[in-house]
C-alpha cells in the first residue's frame, strides 16, 4: 500500500463520516479534497508507519471533538486490507501501522516503476520559464555562476518530475556598454596596448585576441570602427561558446538562449521589442510622461519608486530591456516565470514583480524571483586567466562535477555557503556525496554477487520483510514521491539531497543486519529473493534522487 493509497482511503472515510452526520440531521459544511488529507512519518518508529492529523482539521465542520473523530476514523482504517493497526494519540492524531505484506509490496512497485518512481503530477498543467545563470558573455563563468547553475538546473529537474512543463532559459546580455568595453579590451590586446579604462583585465582577453587574429588576420589593417566591431563579434562568439562548453561539462543544459540584441532589433515597421514594450505597458494604464521622460508607475505594485523606462534623451534604460524580455516570455506562452538571481540583485525583486503587475499579470502568481546567497570555497585560488575570479572550469577540475553539483544543491539558495574541499575529496562517510554514491554502488555490488550465485527476483514474498531495519527502509522509500513533490513546490532541491542521505544511512544499516545472499551452503529461499527486490528498490530510488540533482550514480567505487 502506497502513501497515496492510504491517503485516499482516509479521505473516503472522512467523507463517509460526514455523510453519516448529515443523515443524522446534523448540518455539515465540509470543504475537503483528497490533497488535503496528508500523511507524515512519525518521529519515533514505534508509533507506526504513518500519522495523520486530519481529525483535528475536520472537527469543527463536523461539529464534534477531534479525538472522537479520530477514534471513528481509526476504527475504519483498521478494517482496510494492508493496515495492521490504527491508534489514536494525543488530542486526535492517528498513528497507522501497515502489515508487513502491504509495506513490503512497495519494493516491487518501485522496481517495476523504475526511473518513473517518485515522479508525479502535482504541477501538471504548469508551464514554467526558469531563467538562471545568464552571465554576461564577456568572460568565463565564476564561482557565483556555478552555484546558480547547479541550483537552477536541479530546480528544473524537480519541477519536471512533479509534472510541470519547464524551459531552462539563459538570457544573453549581449548589448550595451559592457559589450563595448569587452570588444575594446580584446582589440587593445590584439594591438599590444594596455587595457582601456573600464575594460576587462585578465589573460583570457589576450587568449581571445589571439583567436580573433587567427580568425581575422587582417584585423589590425581595418578602420578602427570596423576593427572594433569585428573584434567584438568574434570574441563574443568565442566567449559564448566557452560558456556553453563549461555548462555542458557541468551537466547543465538550457532549452532556450535568448539574446538581448534580438529584443533591440528593429522590425519591418521600424520598431524593436523594446520600443513596443513601452506602448504595451502604456496600454495597461501604468505608464506616464514627466520631465520629458517616460515612466512606469511601479509603486502601484509595491516598488519603492517609479521607474524611468525611457530617458528624456530618448535612450532606453535597463528597465526597458527587462520589460521587453518579460513580455517576450509571456508571448512565448510561459504563464509562470522564475528568475534565479545572485545576492547582489535584491533590488530586482520588487522591480520585476512590479513589472509583472504593470504588464497585466498577477505579481504573486505569474512571477517568482529567487535570490541565491554567496558561496566560497576554502583554499580556492583566483583564476590565472581571469585574475580576479574563481572559475567554474577550475573548480570542476579540482573537485569534480558530482561533488560540486551535489554540494551546491544540498543547501537552500538563501543560505550563504562555505565549502570545505578537504571533505569533498575524501572517500569517506563524512563526504555526503560519497556516502550516497557508495550506497548506490553497494546495491549494484549486491546485484552482481546475487547473479553469481543464481539469486534473482523470480519470487517475491513481502510478508517476510519483518526486520526493524526493513520496516525503516521501506518507510523511507515510501516518502520519495512526497519529497519530490515538496521540493518542486518549494523550489528546494536540497530536500532531495537530505532525503537520499537519510535513505543511504538506512540502507547501510539494513545491509549490516539483513543478508541478501545465502550464507555458506544455505539454500536460496523466498526471503533471499524478496530482499533482493528491496535492495534493487533502494538502488533505484538512490539513482532517481541523484539524477534529480544532476549527479551520477556509479555502479562501482
Per-residue pLDDT of 150-171, as tens digits, reads: 999 999 999 999 999 999 999 9
Residue 423 burial (CB < 10 Å; 0-12/13-18/19+)? middle
What φ, ψ does residue 371 adopt, rounded to 5°? -105, 125
Query: Across the beta sheet with 287-290, what order do the strands follow?
Result: 287-290, 293-296, 307-310
Render pLDDT for 414-459 as a digit per residue (tens, 0 to 9).
888 899 999 998 898 999 999 999 999 999 999 999 999 999 999 9
The domain locations on the chain are 3-98, 127-170+256-375, 177-249, 426-548
Q: Grid coordinates in use for 121?
A: 503530477
Q: What is the dihedral of CA 425, 428, 429, 433, to 10 degrees?
A: 30
Contact 83, 510 (CB under 8 A): no
Give residue 131's pLDDT: 98
**CATH number of the structural domain 426-548:** 1.10.730.10
CA atoms within 13 A on the CB side of 355: 28
State how far the Cα of 359 lies from the Cα of 353, in Å rounded to an integer. 10
Give residue 222's pLDDT: 97
The three-class DSSP label of residue 460 is coil
State how far the Cα of 517 lies from the Cα of 551, in Å rounded to an integer. 29
Contact 292, 312 (CB under 8 A): yes
Residues of the chain with pLDDT under 70: none
401-409 helix and 432-452 helix, angle to the nearest 10 degrees: 120
- pTM, to two decimals: 0.90
Give residue 47's pLDDT: 83
**242-273 burial, b if ≥16 CB within 10 A, otherwise e?**
bbbebbeebbbebeeebbbeebbeeeeeeebb
494-513 helix and 526-548 helix, angle to the nearest 10 degrees: 160
Q: What is the dihedral of CA 537, 543, 548, 551, to 10 degrees?
A: 160
Give residue 317's pLDDT: 92
What is the β-pairing status of strands 336-341 and 127-131? parallel
The percent helix, strand, coil of the chain (3-state, each to 5) is 55, 10, 35
Q: 3-98, what's its fold?
A: Gyrase A; domain 2 (3.30.1360)
CATH 3.40.50.620 fits 127-170+256-375, yes or no: yes
Distances (CA, A) of 3 to 14, 94, 122, 138, 304: 16, 14, 15, 50, 46
Give residue 388's pLDDT: 75
Contact 133, 96 (CB under 8 A): no
**478-506 burial, b if ≥16 CB within 10 A, otherwise e?**
bbbbbbbbbbbeebbbbbbbebbbebbbb
Q: Grid coordinates in use for 175?
A: 548589448
State how far the Cα of 90 lies from the Cα of 88, in Å rounded to an integer. 7
Give residue 100's pLDDT: 87
CA 265, 266, 267, 271 dihedral sign is positive
Give residue 375's pLDDT: 87
State how far the Cα of 352 lies from the Cα of 326, in Å rounded to an integer. 9
Amino acid at each position: 500500500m502506497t502513501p497515496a493509497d492510504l491517503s485516499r482511503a482516509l479521505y473516503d472515510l472522512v467523507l463517509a463520516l460526514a455523510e453519516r452526520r448529515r443523515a443524522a440531521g446534523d448540518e455539515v459544511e465540509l470543504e475537503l479534497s483528497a490533497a488535503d488529507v496528508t500523511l507524515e512519518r512519525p518521529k519515533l518508529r514505534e508509533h507506526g508507519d504513518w500519522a495523520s492529523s486530519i481529525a483535528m482539521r475536520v472537527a469543527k465542520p463536523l461539529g464534534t471533538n477531534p479525538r472522537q473523530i479520530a477514534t471513528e476514523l481509526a476504527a475504519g482504517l483498521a478494517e482496510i486490507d494492508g493496515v495492521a493497526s490504527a491508534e489514536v494519540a494525543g488530542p486526535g492524531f492517528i498513528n497507522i501501522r501497515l502489515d508487513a505484506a502491504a509495506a513490503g509490496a512497495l519494493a516491487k512497485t518501485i522496481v517495476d516503476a523504475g526511473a518513473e518512481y517518485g515522479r508525479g503530477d502535482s504541477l501538471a498543467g504548469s508551464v514554467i520559464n526558469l531563467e538562471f545563470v545568464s552571465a554576461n558573455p564577456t568572460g568565463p563563468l565564476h564561482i557565483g555562476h556555478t552555484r546558480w547553475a547547479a541550483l537552477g538546473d536541479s530546480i528544473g529537474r524537480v519541477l519536471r518530475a512533479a509534472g510541470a512543463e519547464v524551459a531552462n532559459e539563459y538570457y544573453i546580455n549581449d548589448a550595451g556598454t559592457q559589450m563595448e568595453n569587452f570588444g575594446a579590451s580584446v582589440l587593445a590586446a590584439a594591438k599590444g596596448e594596455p587595457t582601456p579604462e573600464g575594460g576587462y583585465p585578465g589573460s583570457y582577453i589576450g587568449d581571445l585576441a589571439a583567436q580573433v587574429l587567427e580568425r581575422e588576420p587582417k584585423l589590425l589593417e581595418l578602420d578602427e570602427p570596423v576593427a572594433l566591431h569585428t573584434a567584438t563579434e568574434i570574441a563574443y562568439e568565442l566567449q559564448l561558446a566557452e560558456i556553453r562548453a563549461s555548462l555542458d561539462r557541468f551537466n547543465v543544459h538550457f532549452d532556450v538562449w535568448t539574446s538581448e540584441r534580438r529584443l533591440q532589433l528593429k522590425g519591418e515597421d521600424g520598431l524593436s521589442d523594446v520600443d513596443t514594450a513601452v506602448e504595451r505597458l502604456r496600454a495597461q494604464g501604468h505608464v506616464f510622461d514627466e520631465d520629458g521622460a517616460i515612466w512606469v508607475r511601479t509603486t502601484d505594485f509595491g516598488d519603492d519608486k517609479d521607474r524611468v523606462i525611457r530617458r528624456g534623451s530618448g535612450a532606453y534604460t535597463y528597465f526597458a530591456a527587462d520589460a521587453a524580455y518579460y513580455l517576450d516570455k509571456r508571448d512565448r506562452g510561459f504563464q509562470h516565470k522564475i528568475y534565479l538571481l545572485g545576492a547582489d540583485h535584491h533590488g530586482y525583486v520588487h522591480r520585476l514583480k512590479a513589472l509583472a503587475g504593470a504588464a497585466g499579470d498577477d505579481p504573486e502568481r505569474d512571477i517568482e524571483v529567487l535570490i541565491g546567497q554567496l558561496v566560497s570555497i576554502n583554499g580556492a585560488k583566483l583564476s590565472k586567466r581571469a585574475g580576479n575570479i574563481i572559475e567554474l572550469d577550475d573548480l570542476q577540475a579540482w573537485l569534480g562535477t558530482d561533488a560540486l553539483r551535489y554540494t551546491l544543491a544540498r543547501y537552500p539558495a538563501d543560505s550563504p555557503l562555505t565549502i570545505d574541499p578537504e571533505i569533498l575529496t575524501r572517500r569517506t562517510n563524512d563526504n555526503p556525496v560519497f556516502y550516497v554514491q557508495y550506497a548506490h554502488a553497494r546495491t549494484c555490488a549486491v546485484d552482481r554477487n546475487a547473479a553469481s550465485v543464481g539469486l534473482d527476483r523470480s519470487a517475491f514474498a513481502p510478508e517476510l520483510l519483518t526486520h526493524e531495519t526493513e520496516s525503516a527502509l521501506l518507510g523511507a522509500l515510501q516518502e520519495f514521491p512526497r519529497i519530490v513533490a515538496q521540493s518542486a513546490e518549494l523550489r528546494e532541491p536540497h530536500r532531495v539531497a537530505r532525503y537520499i542521505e537519510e535513505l543511504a544511512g538506512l540502507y547501510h544499516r539494513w545491509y549490516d543486519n539483513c543478508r541478501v545472499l545465502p550464507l555458506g551452503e544455505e539454500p536460496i529461499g523466498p526471503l533471499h529473493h524478496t530482499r533482493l527486490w528491496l535492495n534493487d528498490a533502494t538502488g533505484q530510488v538512490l539513482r532517481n534522487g541523484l539524477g534529480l540533482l544532476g549527479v551520477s550514480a556509479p555502479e562501482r567505487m
